């Protein structure tokens, strides 16, 4: 599974038997439709719902605006949860884990955090700047030998690597 690539121990605290797909279609305030690739929610082992957002990009080129797109989708998801009253006024917004799965042949070179895209900001104003770091999983960083043969996501990545021209 793709979870084998995600760092940290928190993934082990999730109950993946409760994994549930959530709509990735959003309507902005000016009534424009926006679509993300996949949005899932899952309960932690303590029974609390967690929202996990996966943005899977199967493009061959680096998108220099990916961080802005991801931030937009996360805030649209939060907005939809509020509008649908899934989130109560007394609740905190759920954490959304963002990930770019990049299959391009070159290494990813664009920022993966909106904060990195801002023009220079005086240090006393930096706390007002947005930021949303994103996890990057890119096939170009792996060799065939590095990938676990028992992991389905690794097998897909191996096929991608083997299909690369010499």
Mean pLDDT in consecutive groups of 10 residues from the start of the chain, 166 residues? 63 77 68 66 77 61 91 86 81 82 87 94 93 86 71 68 64
Please tell me the total count of domains within the chain: 1
- pTM, two decimal places: 0.73
Domain carrying residue 96 = 2-117+125-162
pLDDT at 14: 78
* Closest-CA residue to 77 (of 58, 49, 104): 49
CA distance 132 to 21: 22
SS3 (DSSP) at 34: strand
pLDDT at 130: 92
**Token pair of 147 as six digits:** 């990938």
Classified as helix, coil or strand, 22 is strand
What's the Cα-to-Cα distance from 99 to each of 55, 88, 137, rounded to whole Å?
6, 27, 7
State the pLDDT at residue 22. Answer: 76
User: For 68, which DSSP code?
Assistant: H
Which strand (E) or helix (H) includes residue 51? strand 49-57
């Amino acid at each position: 599974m793709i979870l084998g690539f995600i760092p940290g121990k928190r993934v082990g605290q999730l109950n993946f038997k409760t994994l549930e797909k959530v709509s990735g279609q959003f309507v902005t305030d000016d009534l424009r439709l926006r679509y993300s690739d996949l949005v899932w929610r899952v309960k932690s082992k303590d029974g609390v719902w967690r929202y996990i957002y996966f943005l899977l990009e199967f493009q061959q080129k680096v998108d220099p605006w990916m961080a802005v797109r991801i931030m937009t989708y996360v805030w649209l998801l939060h907005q939809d949860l509020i509008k649908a009253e899934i989130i109560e006024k007394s609740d905190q917004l759920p954490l959304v884990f963002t990930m770019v799965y990049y299959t391009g042949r070159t290494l990813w070179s664009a920022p993966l955090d909106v904060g990195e895209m801002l023009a220079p900001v005086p240090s006393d104003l930096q706390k007002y700047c947005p930021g949303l770091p994103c996890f990057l999983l890119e096939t170009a960083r792996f060799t065939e030998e590095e990938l676990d043969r028992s992991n389905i996501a690794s097998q897909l990545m191996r096929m991608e690597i083997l299909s690369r021209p010499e």
